[in-house]
Structures are given as C-alpha cells and as structure tokens.
Chain A
Amino acid sequence: MITVKYFASLKAIAEKEEEQIEVQSSISMDQLSDIISKTSPKMADIIRDNKIMISVNQEMADADTVIHDGDEVAFLPPFSGGS
C-alpha cells in the first residue's frame, strides 16, 4: 500500500487530500502516474509535466525515484511560506 498526499492547489485538482494505492511490488513514478490518471487525468498530466515537486517519505524525490510498498508519496506545488 502506498499513501499519496496532495497539498494546497493540488487538492482541488486531485479532488482529494490523500489516497491509498495498492501495489504488488515496487513501482516507478510513471507507473504511479498511470494509476492516478484513472481517477484524476489532470493530476497525472501535472505529474508527468514535471510542474510540481515530489517527495517520498518526506525526502525530495524525482521522476526516477522508485516507490516501494509502504512509502508515502507527496505531490507538492511551489512553496509560498514566509510572508
């Protein structure tokens, strides 16, 4: 099971804050995008276009990062903290 989290503007696009995705083994980011595209094609496009940042287990990741069962993947739009 992979936990996928969406933050800020991405919550409205994915129409959810979080989802659990069942996987049989480790998967690539492309494979995760394919799974997400079934319920949220627009969100999958954003992931494929590298328009956002990705973290895996709260460490910054990229399109080549392999995702394992039990991982927490988060899709992060550009940050705007501070003032």
Chain B
Amino acid sequence: MMGMKWHFFHLFLVDLKTKGNVMSTTTESKIRIQLENFSVSDEIETMKKVSRNIGGITTFLGTGRELSKGQNIAQLNFEHYPKMAEKKLEEIRQQAIKDHGIIDMSIIHRIGPIEIGENIVLIVAVGEHRKETFVACEWAIAELKRVTPIWKRETTTHGEVWVQDTP
C-alpha cells in the first residue's frame, strides 16, 4: 500500500515537473533554431492557445527554392551563431509585440542541410485583428534577414557558395 502511495506521489511529482517545464519554456519555445523540420499546423495550433482574444493569424513560411540567380540549387545549408542568433530572434519577437500591437509571435529557423522544397523558416504572428499581424510578420522576416547571425550556403553544380545577400 505504501509502495502504491509512493508511486502515485512520484507520478504526481513528474506531472508537476512536466507542467513546470512547459510553463517555464513557453517563451523560449516560441523562438527556436533547430536541425529538425517543424509542422506548420502544429505551430499555428500552439500559438492559437496563447489567448482567447486572437482573431487573426499571419504566417510566413520560407522554403528552399531550386533556382537562385539563374543557378540550379542542389542543396542548402544553414549555419548560425548559437545564443546570439536566438537572442536576436527573441529581440525581434519582443519588438514586434511592442511596436506592432500583436498579441504574440513565434519564430522558428532551421539550420543544417535543407533539401529543395523543405521548410526553412516560420513566423507566426497572432493578434486581435489581421492588419497588425500582416505588418508584424512582414517586418519580422525583413528584420530577421537584417540582424540575425544566420548564413546560407548553396550547393550548385559549380560547387558551394556562401550567400552574402538575400532580397
């Protein structure tokens, strides 16, 4: 009987710890730089749970394209400056909320090898109305390209090249 009680208590503790982690990493999980792919629908569902006042959601999804400056791309590869890149993305998120009046934003960027057609970056802006989410999302992707230490390397039939400017 004692063993069962202890087992129950242990499960309760694990449950509390799990919930605690979710709570403590809520903000962090809205900014992610990761090797693995992400599910756009799952990320939107996560953001929908942020507030019952959400009336509009705008997403930007960047994907690997085959043609770049007339060259056929075989593969892309992204590198980042750990910690600094995450810090910049969090600054973008905070500024988007403050300046554009959205409720919240998540930004996910993949690193490592990316095949043509695969997801690269996702920005989800949620707000009470559509207008501010459109503006915030467009601003955030432009700002990401401008200030975030992430670099793209393209592999073409002519070899590999680090991209130094992106439109």
Contacts and interface: CB of A to CB of B under 8 A. Distances in A.
Interface of A: 5, 7-9, 55, 58, 74, 76-83
Given A79-B145, A80-B152, A82-B121, A9 B78 contact: no
A81 B144 contact: yes
24 contacts: A7-B151, A9-B162, A58-B83, A74-B149, A77-B151, A79-B145, A79-B146, A79-B149, A79-B151, A80-B162, A80-B166, A81-B78, A81-B80, A81-B85, A81-B109, A81-B121, A81-B144, A81-B150, A81-B151, A81-B152, A82-B120, A82-B144, A82-B150, A83-B120
- Size bracket, chain B contacts: 20 to 34
Given A8-B153, A8-B162, A9-B164, A81 B84 contact: no
Contacts of B87: 58
Q: Is the interface of B mostly helix, strand, loop or mixed?
A: mixed
Contacts, number: 72
Interface of B: 62-65, 78-81, 83-85, 87, 109, 120-121, 141, 144-153, 162-166
